[in-house]
Amino acid sequence: SRPQTLGQLFALDSLLEPEEIAIRDTVRKFGEERLRPRIAEWFEDAQLPARELAKELGELGALGMHLDGYGCPGMSATAYGLACLELEAVDSGIRSLVSVQGSLAMFSIHHWGSEEQKQEWLPRMAAGEAIGCFGLTEPDFGSNPAGMRTNAKRDGDDWVLNGTKMWITNGSIADVAVVWAQTDLDDSPRGIRGFVVPTDTPGFSAPEITKKLSLRASVTSELVFDDVRLPASAMLPEAAGLRGPLTSLGEARFGIIFGAMGAARDCLEVAVDYAQSRHVFDKPLAGYQLTQAKLADMALEVGKGHMLAYHLGRLKDRGEITPERVSLGKLNNVREAIAIARECRTILGANGITLEYPVIRHANNLESVLTYEGTSEVHQLTIGKALTGEGAFR
Ligand code: FAD
């Protein structure tokens, strides 16, 4: 009988509106035509033509996709999620570029910024003419950002920023950094505030982190602030305390819930194809029960992961998403995606370890995705707290 795609098997499109399907198909076409042919080379060389890509992604409407006004497309959260899914089906690094630009940097300015900050940055960022990054993590503070040491001190009307951020996506190529720092403002716990820092400000530098074996098609950097002097207007006026960065992280995590399923789907499609054409012991690998058990179990997880993402998309569009719900999706979908990538790798045998196929690239990328935007353990603790009422973070 004729093989069915995963989407057909689960009737996934029946859960989407025609407009969402159209957006999804447009992004998928862009991914297949513009990104897929070059992605293995970008990954191998650890060189992403990010400026060129940002402009194309801007034209596509993928930057700040679910934000309104200031040149942003104003799409639904579900449509944004579907775009993340299709981009991550090509590579998690491309989705990272889009997440950091739209959900972390642009969202922070859109949600917490002044009218001037919005006017200055958002239209150019939506068009991909300006690239943004988001600096929260530090060398000694990842899962526990409250301990951050980067600080901003008042000097007259100015702020003077000192400290170091680590593992910052887009850092070395950014035109603007949204940076979180301790201040002595006392109207929130420990006075954390966000600052909009043009990267040409004296004292700012962003050395790139090299030797990565994951997310090679993505720029990751350290940010160093050495007496970076900023005007009073650089502070995000509406963000006070850790709620500022955590709200922005919730946006990016939402996109990852969809994105991880893109990587998983791509691995599974490749594995199904491979199993049909590869002959072992005189017949196609796909004709063996052990292979079919693997494929069936993976299909179940990919289908369930899509449905969870779509459900959370609907909740977000209705304003009913919560951090705990985002944790459910991020934990499940990334953990399943990495397990699927590794299982698909076994089906490809030795071919599975090369860049001729996307599978090990996805598996390696997903190691970063498992760690950033809240590690799996942090999401388990969030869900555990929701279930028991007991905080076990410390
Ligand atoms: P740690 O916090 O040191 O954690 C180490 C281990 O301890 C993990 O397994 C963790 O789950 C576990 N752990 C921590 N706390 C607990 C606990 N209470 N109980 C049990 N286990 C615990 N950050 C940004 O700010 N901006 C970016 O753009 C950005 N991009 C990134 C890109 C890449 C490729 C990577 C790899 C990271 C990026 N990050 C970014 C940083 C990322 O968010 C952090 O790496 C992440 O939060 C984990 O912090 P850590 O690496 O310091 O690990």
**For 46-99, what is each residue's pLDDT tens digit?**
999 999 999 999 999 999 999 999 999 999 999 999 999 999 999 999 999 999
| Positive/negative CA dihedral, 348, 29, 81, 133 | positive
**For 96-120, what is each residue's pLDDT tens digit?**
999 999 999 999 999 999 999 999 9
In the predicted structure, residue 2 carries a pLDDT above the cut 90: no
**For 213-271, what is each residue's pLDDT tens digit?**
999 999 999 999 999 999 999 999 999 999 999 999 999 999 999 999 999 999 999 99
**For 282-300, what is each residue's pLDDT tens digit?**
999 999 999 999 999 999 9
Percent of the chain with pLDDT over 70: 99
Specify the pLDDT at position 364.
98
Distances in Å between the Cα of 55 and the Cα atoms of 73, 129, 169 are 14, 6, 17
In the predicted structure, residue 189 carries a pLDDT above the cut 80: no
Give the pLDDT mean for 144-165. Answer: 96
In the predicted structure, residue 190 carries a pLDDT above the cut 80: no
Distance CA 36, CA 277 (A): 21
Distance CA 85, CA 97 (A): 13
ipTM of this predicted structure: 0.99
Res. 3 pLDDT band, cuts 50 70 90: confident
Which of 245, 223, 198, 216 has the alpha carbon at shortest distance from 104? Answer: 245
168 lines ligand 1 (CB under 6 A): yes
Give the pLDDT mean for 189-202. Answer: 91
Give the pLDDT mean for 193-202. Answer: 98
Distance CA 66, CA 23 (A): 13
368 lines ligand 1 (CB under 6 A): yes
| Ligand 1, atom nearest to 165 Cα | 25
User: Which residue's C-alpha comes closest to atom 23 of ligand 1?
Assistant: 137
Q: Are the beta carbons of 324 and 54 closer than 8 angstroms?
A: no
Active site residue 52: no
